Structure 1
Amino acid sequence: MSKDRFDIHQHLTDRIVLAIEAGAGEWQMPWHRGSGGRHPVNIASGNKYRGVNVLGLWVDAQVNGYSSHLWGTYRQWADKGATVRKGQKASYVVFYKEIEVKADGDAENDSKRRLFARATPVFNADQVEGFDNATVEAAVEELDSVDSFIARTGATIVHGGSRACFIPKLDEIHMPKRASFTGSATSTAAEAYYSTLLHELTHWTAPAHRCNRDLSGRFGSDAYAMEELVAELGAAFLCAELGVSVEPRPDHAQYLAHWLTVLKADKRAIFTAASKAAEASVFLSGKGA
């Protein structure tokens, strides 16, 4: 197999690292800028992209200035009567296919199943001609009340003090009072409160009886920082689902060096973090449905 074969893991990791580095001076991540507030949707199925594909498409939309949240392959756009403009550069999404391979053992029928990543080129609605952006909506309905969504998770939330955190020993989320949150250039005071609470709710899913998320075996001494990345991504995914603008967290400045070091050393690290974040958001959405 050619050594020059396209590596989707490295490609997406490099794009995300560059985007993180571009916003580090303002303590903003890729999901705080550009179209990070809207969930990318496939034009053919109307389904929302999941996991690392959400992050990858957010990054490319931001870098290229795309305003639409709609994406599709060349053929999918053609099926809609639209044409990808000549010279447009594709973005990539990754899908995993399970195949059966022969194991290393001596048994004649000894085989195992492995996941292989498949990269698929897609184009944003801003890159095509002959399509009306306003005619397509996501197949999944947006949740109509953030408060009711949070209440249905069953998490114990204690208001008071000046720090937002999840306390595993008590199995409680502690939040400052709503009145202590202020708005910013990117979000209202209410959105700042909700995005912070959704971050802590993602932490709340970590224990064994929920999502059983233990990153120490994969990331060692960087596990705590990577759990913060999972929570940050989980909050971003949930905010996109609920229509809430994500508030940048200045306290994450202390984790940026860890995140960039791990991502640069391990091209699959962001895939793991995004997968765990997606798992947490699905768990919370199931309880909050």
Structure 2
Amino acid sequence: MSQAESLTFDSVEQLNEEKAAIKAAFGRAAATYDKSAAFQRRVGHALLDLEEEWSGKRVLDLGCGTGYFTEQLLHKGANVVALDLSEQMLDQARLRCGGSAEYVSGDAECLPFDDDSFDIAFSSLALQWCNDLSIPLRELRRVVKPGGKVIFSTLIDGSLQELKQAWQLVDLHQHVNDFLTLNQVKLALAQSGSQNYTLECKPLVERYPSAMALMRDLKGIGATHLSEGRNAGLSGKARFSALENAYRAFQFEDGTVPATYQVGFGAIHND
């Protein structure tokens, strides 16, 4: 085996390990997700508003999680296929929606569907977990019919900046994932073959009673896997106390603290 082949094999193995770790993190969070997902629901409802006509459409809910938006789409009259990487999340979606939807365990980077299978693809806050955004975007375009639409939301660079800055005052480890810049998302869209699209980045602020309350919500939804570095595990009250103290620099007058997200809302018209 040549050095190039070895490097390629190692890279694939690393990506597979990365995906397995993400899958495991969300699987562990399946039972607690809904209690911690207020922000995810806020974003998903905003994404739903990008499309007015759902009734009678065959819709892919990619990264369906516990099926909250699968249920919303069903209420709007859509015929929904709910897909998630985590079987535990799909179990929760089945409990929520019963036999009204179809459930598929699958990978956004290699969708298990024929070309032109859907009228609309809907994906909210799932694609940022893919290593190369252009790949799932290309897959979504493939499975959506000509004249159909892909609508998605993803986190953009600058998300959770307060938490990132506070941790930097505590230690030198990485505790917050890096996200693509808006220009990098545009590049991924171009690489996926998307030409007719809209993309907008909106800052959304969530308020928490404390930094630890934010951390609990991130753990509750399974957003604990770091794409770079593995030194996320922390122990000791002193370190968390230091985080709280550092976070007070961002505190509002009412004592709450912000978590600012930069959210990219995209719509691809599949010409």
Question: TM-score of the superposition, structure 1-length normalised?
Answer: 0.22
Compare CA radii of gyration and give the structure with the larger one: 1
Q: Which has the higher strand share?
A: 2
TM-score, normalised by the number of residues in structure 2: 0.23
